[in-house]
Amino acid sequence: MLDPSLIRPEIALDDFLPIFVSSALAMVFGGFYVGIYTAVKVEMLKRWAMPFAYLFWMLTSYCLYIMGSLMHVGEFTAKALIVAMIGYLLLPHAVYYMQHQVHEENED
Amino acid sequence: MASKLNESQQLATWYFTFAAILFGAQLLFGLVAAIQYVMPGFLFEIIDFSIARIIHINALVVWMVFAMFGSVYWLLPDETGIETVGIKLGKLLYWVFVAAIVVVVLVYLLVQVGPADETTIWFITEGREYIEAPRWADIGIVVVALGFVANLFLTGIKGNRSGIVTVLMADMIAFAGLYLAGMFFTDNISVDQYWWWWVIHLWVEATWEVFVGAIAAYGLIKMVGAHRQVVEMWLWIEVAMLFGSGILGMGHHYFWIGTPEYWWEIGALFSALEPLPLVAMFVHVLYDWGKTQGGQDAKGESVSVINNKPAFTWFVFNAFGNFLGAGVWGFFHTLPQVNLYTHGTQFTSAHGHLAFFGAYATILIGMMYIAVQGKNGIKVMKNTTSSILAVSLIVGGVVGMTVALTIAGYVQVLVSRAQMGATWAGYFDGQAGMWFAQGMDWRLIMGVVTFIGFLFLAKDLLSIGKAAHHER
């Protein structure tokens, strides 16, 4: 007979699959966000595609929210995830800005 | 027509050759271990699972180190504009390194186990996962690594010190120094593991990733003619992000080994940030390729800017593979709340397979193709049927193994951990399930596919330089 105290109740059995899927999708959508953003900036995609980049960022955030909720992450980790998402929103802008400046300097 | 290589690049081809041989050994012993999951009596008391696993993983680590050293010896004359300083020492150390590895592998195979005292530690195996080499070989590895670092530093100081060389100088001294953390034992297993992770994690998720960033930068300049200033600025951003997130990301290994609880918070925060540089590296390739090709197209010349198709294919797979293997499969189970369940299951193995392949094997194979191009004096190197078969079968095989191991790991999470509370009975019940068993079957099948792909790769590396369809 299994001692009930051994069973870990923190995550419900049915929640494991949504956790793994949402964490995978958070990364995949995040990849689409920066990928589309960069592709538009280097003119590999038309400008009208840019809103889709931000849509993917929103999907990334939502997936991370689902993942965090189902995992019952603590207050600190929840804050860390929010900071990570804000950082992730800003990151391509900052990096692209620096890239662009370097390109301009070297092409002038 | 073969081109005359300088001594450093000649040495690089030696390193690449031995790396490819060890890559084959890694896959072969991986197959033995995979068969033993399906048929536990296979090679019983001849090559037990523990030995096959040691050789599988150690060969992986060592072939990558060989290929890394080879990559550095290849790019040094290009970057610094001079022959590598101390190249004679470099050649001597190469043979010392090869001889040491051959002896270590023969001892693993022929002696296998010792009396579990100092003799075993010094002459057979230290028994620490992934870095099982006996202590005499440990010391030898440190000597070889220091000689390599000396070559790199002396050349960097004397020649033109580009951004790529500067990053490599800093990175390689950390790479060599961190190995020391895995060379001593303590009586306390938690303390011992604490230091052991300095080698494993800080190598793989800090110094090796930075190395990949530097190699990707060199490859983009070499293969698509990307702008050096732009590429090197990217590199510095990546270095900052990789070290910024990767060093304390080590916390995710400290969740369950008896270290203080504050590592939960540190590990969670920095692990959440760890995928960011991987995404940046993915964008790096896209950005530089797009910019350079766009510049070419703007001139009205619809010619590809890529001068080495097989190498560039592997570099692109590196960008994707690093993101998928280290990023997605790592992020799956990096937060402590879920890692409690996934830790030590086949999830870890799935992540390990795709991450090592995606982040490192791909780009190092790409460097081997760059060396083949340089050695044969080819201006534009094109794919052969074997190049395409090799990349398709190896990538398909590794992705297949990863999916199979992920399914097996999922069963273990549900059965062994969540339902059975990580008990002894739960461990066996998890492995007895149909999904787990089928996952192991598919892992073996996909392992065979990977090995066939390797045979095509070996054939291609040996013969592609002679093909007539390249531009010379």
Residue contact B279–A30, C-beta within 8 A: yes
* pLDDT at residue B15 in the model: 97
pTM for this one?
Answer: 0.92
Q: Is A102 on the interface with B (CB under 8 A)?
A: yes
Give the Cβ contact number of residue A35 at 10 Å: 20
Q: Which two tokens stand for residue B157?
A: 């100081």
Under a CB-based contact definition with an 8 Å cutoff, are residues A106 and B291 in contact?
A: no
Q: Which residues of B395-409 are buried (b: 16+ CB within 10 A; e: fewer)?
A: bebbbbbbbbbbbbb
B224 falls within a domain: no
Average pLDDT of the segment spanning B172-199: 90
Of residues B265, B341, B420, nearest to A2 (C-beta): B420
Give the Cβ contact number of residue B49 at 10 Å: 17
Task: Tell me the one-letter amino acid at A106.
Answer: N
- Which residues in chain B (216-245) have CB-CB distances under 8 A to chain A? 227, 229-230, 233-234, 237
Mean pLDDT of chain B: 91
| CA distance, residue A71 to nearest chain B CA (Å) | 6
B329 falls within a domain: yes
Q: Is A104 on the interface with B (CB under 8 A)?
A: no
| Torsion angles phi and psi, residue B308, rounded to 5 | -150, 90
pLDDT tens digits, B395-451: 999 999 999 999 999 999 999 988 888 889 999 999 998 999 999 999 999 999 999
- Please report which confidence band the pLDDT of residue B186 belongs to, taking 50, 70 and 90 as the band edges: confident
| CA distance, residue B331 to nearest chain A CA (Å) | 7
Q: Is A51 on the interface with B (CB under 8 A)?
A: no
Average pLDDT of the segment spanning B305-310: 90
Average pLDDT of the segment spanning B294-311: 80
Q: Is A78 on the interface with B (CB under 8 A)?
A: no
| CA distance, residue B432 to nearest chain A CA (Å) | 18
Q: Which of B66-80, B291-305, B362-376 has the lowest mean pLDDT?
A: B291-305
B293 falls within a domain: no
DSSP for residue B380: B
* pLDDT at residue B270 in the model: 83
Tell me which of A23, A56, A70, A105 to substitute to probe the interface with B (most B C-beta atoms closer than 10 Å): A23
Task: Tell me the one-letter amino acid at B82.
Answer: I
Task: Tell me the one-letter amino acid at A100.
Answer: H
* pLDDT at residue A6 in the model: 55
Residue contact B283–A8, C-beta within 8 A: no
* pLDDT at residue B46 in the model: 92
Domain residues for the domain of B451 are 307-472
3-state secondary structure of B142: helix
Last residue in a domain, options B140, B160, B180: B160
Beta-bridged to residue B267, according to DSSP, are none
Closest CA to B332 of A65, A26, A14: A26
Beta-bridged to residue B471, according to DSSP, are B380
| CA distance, residue A34 to nearest chain B CA (Å) | 7
Of residues B275, B328, B421, nearest to A8 (C-beta): B421
3-state secondary structure of B308: strand
* pLDDT at residue B50 in the model: 92
Spatial distance between the Cα atoms of B28 and B32, rounded to a whole number of angstroms: 7
* pLDDT at residue A4 in the model: 58
Under a CB-based contact definition with an 8 Å cutoff, are residues B447 and B31 in contact?
A: yes
User: Is the predicted pLDDT of residue B1 greater than 60, yes or no?
Assistant: no
Last residue in a domain, options B160, B189, B211: B160
- Residue identified by tokens 């930075």 is B210
Chain A with chain B: Cβ pairs closer than 8 A: 131
Residue contact A20–B410, C-beta within 8 A: yes
Residues in chain A: 108
pLDDT tens digits, B313-331: 999 899 888 888 888 888 8
- Please report which confidence band the pLDDT of residue B82 belongs to, taking 50, 70 and 90 as the band edges: very high
Closest CA to B442 of B405, B412, B410: B405
Set of chain A residues whose Cβ sits within 8 Å of the Cβ of B338: 11, 19, 23, 71
Residue contact B418–A80, C-beta within 8 A: no
B439 falls within a domain: yes
DSSP letters spanning B420-453: TTT-HHHHHHHHHSHHHHHHHHHHHHHHHHHHHH
Residue contact B328–A42, C-beta within 8 A: no
B421 falls within a domain: yes
Chain-centre distance for alpha carbon B464: 24
Q: Is B255 on the interface with A (CB under 8 A)?
A: no
Residue percentage of chain B with pLDDT more than 90: 64
- Measured on CA atoms in the order B459, B463, B467, B472, is the torsion positive or negative? positive
B426 falls within a domain: yes
pLDDT tens digits, A30-50: 888 988 998 888 788 899 999
* pLDDT at residue B334 in the model: 85
**Intra-chain end-to-end CA distance of chain A, in Å:** 77
Q: Which residues of B128-159 are buried (b: 16+ CB within 10 A; e: fewer)?
A: bebbbbbbebbebbeebbebbbbbbbebbeeb
**Burial (CB count <10 Å: 0-12, 13-18, 19+), residue B301:** exposed
Residues in CB range of A41: below 8 A, 6 or more apart? A96, A100
Q: Is B282 on the interface with A (CB under 8 A)?
A: yes
B169 falls within a domain: no
> What is the CATH classification number for the domain harbouring B319?
1.20.210.10
* pLDDT at residue A2 in the model: 56
Spatial distance between the Cα atoms of B236 and B167, rounded to a whole number of angstroms: 8
Residue contact A13–B421, C-beta within 8 A: no
Spatial distance between the Cα atoms of B142 and B24, rounded to a whole number of angstroms: 25
Spatial distance between the Cα atoms of A46 and A50, rounded to a whole number of angstroms: 8
Compute CA distances B27 → B18, B40, B109, B242, B405, whole Å.
14, 19, 16, 29, 16
**Intra-chain end-to-end CA distance of chain B, in Å:** 8
ipTM of the complex: 0.80
Spatial distance between the Cα atoms of B404 and B446, rounded to a whole number of angstroms: 9
Q: Which two tokens stand for residue B75?
A: 């790019």
Q: Is A26 on the interface with B (CB under 8 A)?
A: yes
Residue contact A2–B332, C-beta within 8 A: no
* pLDDT at residue A7 in the model: 57
* pLDDT at residue B407 in the model: 94
- Is the pLDDT higher at A78 or at A103? A78
Give me Rg for the CA atoms of chain A: 19
Number of domains in chain B: 2
| CA distance, residue A59 to nearest chain B CA (Å) | 15
| Torsion angles phi and psi, residue A44, rounded to 5 | -85, -20
Residue percentage of chain B with pLDDT more than 70: 99
- Sort residue A45 into left (φ over 0), alpha (ψ -120 to 50) or beta: beta
Closest CA to B251 of A47, A77, A60, A88: A77
- Measured on CA atoms in the order B208, B211, B213, B219, is the torsion positive or negative? negative
| CA distance, residue A104 to nearest chain B CA (Å) | 10
**Burial (CB count <10 Å: 0-12, 13-18, 19+), residue B30:** buried
Residue contact A7–B341, C-beta within 8 A: no
Last residue in a domain, options B160, B175, B204: B160
